Structure 1
Amino acid sequence: MTKTESFRPQLSPLMVEDLVRTALLEDLGRAGDITTYATIGPKKTARMTINGRDPGVVAGLVLAETAFRLIDPSVRFEALVADGDRVSPGQPLARVEGSARAVLSAERVALNFLMHLSGVASYTACFSDAIAHTKARVTCTRKTLPGLRAVEKYAVRLGGGSNHRYGLDDAILIKDNHIAVCGGVAEAIHAARAYAGHLVKIEVEVDSLHQMREALDAGPDVILLDNMTPDTLFEAVEMNRQHHAMAPEIYASGRNRTILEASGNVTLQTVRTIAETGVDFISTSKITMAAPTMDIGLDSVLV
């Protein structure tokens, strides 16, 4: 199994329904879809196909299906591909059949989720493909659209990426401001270790090899190498190797080795060079905050 092959992630149906319901309420407003009500009779039916117009990785089919179901449970939604599949331009993604009013009223919410999340998955795949020859994995950050973090992180995984922490409560990440206020790298790590439960990972951000040496001595689980040049990243990887070589009885299997994460100035043009330094993870907000949407439309209306 390669680093991009794994069981595909799942979304909680309860979370999906709440998210889609909120989006539908936002779109339908106080009076509903007055355009459709005014122009389409209540007994009119429609059969439509959701088509991808760009190449990429599909994500969000379950949200699209939920949008149609919440408007009218009798609408039939048939997925023709699965979330995580790579598709070609013009490839049908799903068929929708039922009340024309329901299909048209749910269309925009369904497509908005599909277009955005497929865009995130597809852009992540571009980064993941670029470093597939290395051990590194691209990972997302907490820079996500408010309210969409869980589904954006879901899309990142479908694109072959990895998830960083979901929020402030599931891991400790000591950043530069924490270090400045606390009084130093080692002080911050020791304080975090004393506070955290045994299942909570501790990561610390460093911006120099001097800080990294302090961090290694204090023993965090992960060190984030912030805005370092490729040459400095190479040095950091070697420093990490040498540090653990001095304690082979602890680090023999590599399971307890300090994980190295690189961040800063990560683009499709730089990610390969960063990965080839030997780091374990490369974090970037671009895969969520700068991903272009995939062009997807509801086409082929047959009444």
Structure 2
Amino acid sequence: MQRALLDQLKIITEEERKILDGVAEVDRDLYTSGCDFIVDSAKMFNEGKLITVRTHTRFIHFPAHRHNFIEVLYVCQGKLVNIIGGKEVVIQKGELLFLNQFTRHEILPAGKDDIAINFMILPEFFDVAYTMAGNNNVLADFLVNVLRQDEERGEYLHFRVAEVLQIQNLLENMIYSLVTGKGDQNKINQTTMGLIFLYLLDSVQYVEMRVPNQYENMISMTTLEYIEQQYKTATLTELCEQLHLPMHTLSKMIKKSTGFNFKELLQRKRLNKAVELMCETDLPINDVIAAVGYENNSYFHRVFKEHYHMTPRAFRVANSSKKQVHL
């Protein structure tokens, strides 16, 4: 992160100055109007805004509280320690923590050099990111569904992506925009978050999740990542061997968590990749079919036509001039 921006984020706020002068507890009136400690979007957002940002208040323990919006914590320097569902979740420099609406958590006191950003986001803000991810992206479906749930059961997504430079650069741009107030914030920042979301979809191997049915969901995430990386040769038998699970058990978990069976997920990925190759390269159709893992050309043509209601060749003619195909 640029030194000038980091120095600006380090500035002691008025709230922090009062804490250093002896205030022993968080001033709840800054965050909520109710008796229960629910941080209220009406207190935190300017009218018409879908996202706002503030530096995390240091030097004090934040007691257990909830939010009526999605919170994304990003650590610019140092670390931030959350307690979620009785578990200590440590967010290190460069990492992201997505907290679902109404997830109850507390935060241990941060020191002077622990600089963290709170992105406070209304659920509809993610509509742009979801659209950018594409309608056939089951991994995006899965993550967005987690973020759209309205529960208190301790859901979070912890992305350890400090080494993913694209994400770090996009976050810095977004923080600069929100801190300085420059630009059309909603439009620019929604698009930036969409790009971050796309990179996060490529980084699911770095995510730790806590959602209901956590084990089943982690198995599903592993399945989706396996298909994403191994779509050309992927088989349910091989995945069962890797996960040490009976085929009927794994099949049931996948269907329950994603709404699709393994064959359908694999077919979706192969078709998406085939469309990408047809529209962005000059590979002959038969070479495209082989590249995505189909051995039977006739079967591919039948499946493709059932899905897109036209032949692969007609689809290529209709879409190859377009820079991006929305499926």
TM-score (norm 2): 0.28
Higher helix share: 2
TM-score (norm 1): 0.29
* Higher RCO, Cα 8 Å, sep 6+: 1
